[in-house]
């Protein structure tokens, strides 16, 4: 399997919209940060040290100990172009940090792209598992098993008092970041979102946009994740997020029911206006595309729009991003050209509905 597969096709396993509560939860993710004892963190490592880390961790994958994950692809970041790295960021397969600091960086990917193992990112090892829909426990189960395999072969940096040692102090302890990507348009439209998010932050969770820290919640997509990694067990972190996310799902579904019962004409008008614009517009910037695609997604789940699949909408989340547009058209595009090709792509996909 070639690395080109991962940068040429926008659809990953987590985008299929087939998981539990996928009408609200786009994906569930668990990421585990680990470092090798007696080796400097990546930002402080000399080239030969980071090279040694990369080879040591790639050896684990090449040894066959991860064979249960399928035919893994091992990719050295130095073999990728800047555009290819941007596409992998847009697909959530690598972090912006790894894309920007790719000296002796590497990536191990499962065939369905649900498992992404990053080497020499902010930490020596970042194990990421992505599931479609609300499956945070399943994502944790996969990540934990992979972590156990590496720990059998690698001497992790661990302190009896503080737990796993990481480059960023906020990850010290369990080293776990668990998150769910949620589509919450009804809570936004009904004006409940600020109250809900305020309550979420008060129980130790963080809320970010589609691409994590520093990104805005475009298209009514909110990434809810744990803030605390020290002082709680792995299971407590996962269960706390699971319980809060479950309540948010129920609030969103209740808000959708309220919209249909109390404001159906106005909501349907909004959704159909967005559908009309997306199927006719010649120019579409990313911000407007995100918002109008959010309206379409809401319309699909309210039963107001037929013949558009979740998979299509999830795929458009990636395929309309700047890197993927340029990858698809095989050339560098100016902002205006990207807006034109984005509009063309959306028109085409919504016309077929698949």
**29 annotated to bind ligand:** yes
Radius of gyration for the alpha carbons in the chain, expressed in angstroms and rounded: 21
**78 annotated to bind ligand:** no
**CA distances for 67 relative to 62, 63, 145, angstroms:** 9, 9, 12
Cβ atoms within 10 Å, residue 163: 16
Helix or strand run (H / E) with residue 331? none
**246 annotated to bind ligand:** no
Cα gap 49→55, rounded to integer Å: 10
**208 annotated to bind ligand:** yes
Cα gap 88→94, rounded to integer Å: 6
| CA-wise closest residue to 140 among 244, 241, 247 | 241
**28 annotated to bind ligand:** yes
**177 annotated to bind ligand:** yes
**30 annotated to bind ligand:** yes
**264 annotated to bind ligand:** no
**31 annotated to bind ligand:** yes
CB 39 within 8 A of CB 49: yes
The tokens describing 288, both together, are 């407007």
Q: What are phi and psi of 304, to 5 degrees?
A: -95, -15
**116 annotated to bind ligand:** no
The tokens describing 170, both together, are 């906020």
**178 annotated to bind ligand:** yes
DSSP state of 114: S
**325 annotated to bind ligand:** no
**164 annotated to bind ligand:** no
**342 annotated to bind ligand:** no
Report the binding-site residues: 27-31, 92, 126, 177-181, 208-213
Annotated binding-site ranges for ATP: 27-31, 92, 126, 177-181, 208-213
């Amino acid at each position: 399997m070639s690395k080109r597969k991962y940068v040429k096709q926008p659809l990953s396993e987590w985008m299929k919209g087939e998981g539990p509560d996928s009408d609200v939860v786009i994906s569930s993710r668990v990421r585990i940060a680990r470092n090798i004892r007696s080796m400097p963190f990546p930002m402080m490592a000399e080239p030969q040290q980071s090279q040694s880390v990369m080879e040591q961790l790639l050896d684990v994958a090449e040894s066959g100990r991860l064979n249960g994950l399928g035919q893994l692809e091992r990719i050295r970041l130095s073999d990728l172009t800047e555009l290819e790295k941007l596409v992998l960021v847009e697909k959530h397969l690598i972090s912006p940090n790894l894309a920007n600091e790719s000296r002796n960086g590497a990536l191990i990917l499962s065939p369905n792209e649900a498992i992404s193992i990053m080497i020499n990112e902010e930490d020596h090892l970042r194990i990421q598992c992505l599931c479609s829909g609300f499956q945070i426990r399943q994502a944790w189960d996969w990540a934990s098993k992979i972590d156990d395999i590496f720990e059998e072969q690698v001497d992790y940096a661990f302190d009896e008092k503080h737990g796993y040692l990481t480059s960023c102090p906020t990850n010290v302890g369990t080293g776990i970041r668990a998150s769910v990507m949620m589509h919450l348009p009804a809570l936004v439209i009904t004006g409940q979102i600020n109250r809900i998010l305020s309550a979420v932050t008060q129980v130790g969770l963080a809320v970010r946009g589609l691409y994590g820290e520093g990104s805005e919640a475009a298209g009514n997509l909110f990434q809810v994740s744990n803030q605390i990694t020290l002082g709680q067990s792995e299971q407590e972190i996962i269960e706390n997020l699971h319980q809060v996310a479950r309540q948010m799902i129920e609030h969103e579904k209740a808000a959708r029911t309220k919209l249909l019962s109390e404001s159906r004409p106005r909501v349907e008008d909004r959704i159909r206006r967005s559908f009309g614009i997306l199927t006719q517009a010649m120019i579409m910037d990313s911000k407007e595309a995100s918002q109008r695609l959010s309206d379409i997604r809401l319309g699909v789940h309210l039963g107001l729009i037929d013949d558009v699949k979740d998979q299509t909408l999830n795929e458009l989340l990636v395929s309309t991003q700047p890197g993927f547009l340029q990858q698809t058209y095989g050339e560098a595009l100016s902002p205006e050209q990207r807006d034109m090709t984005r509009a063309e792509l959306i028109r085409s996909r919504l016309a077929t509905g698949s």
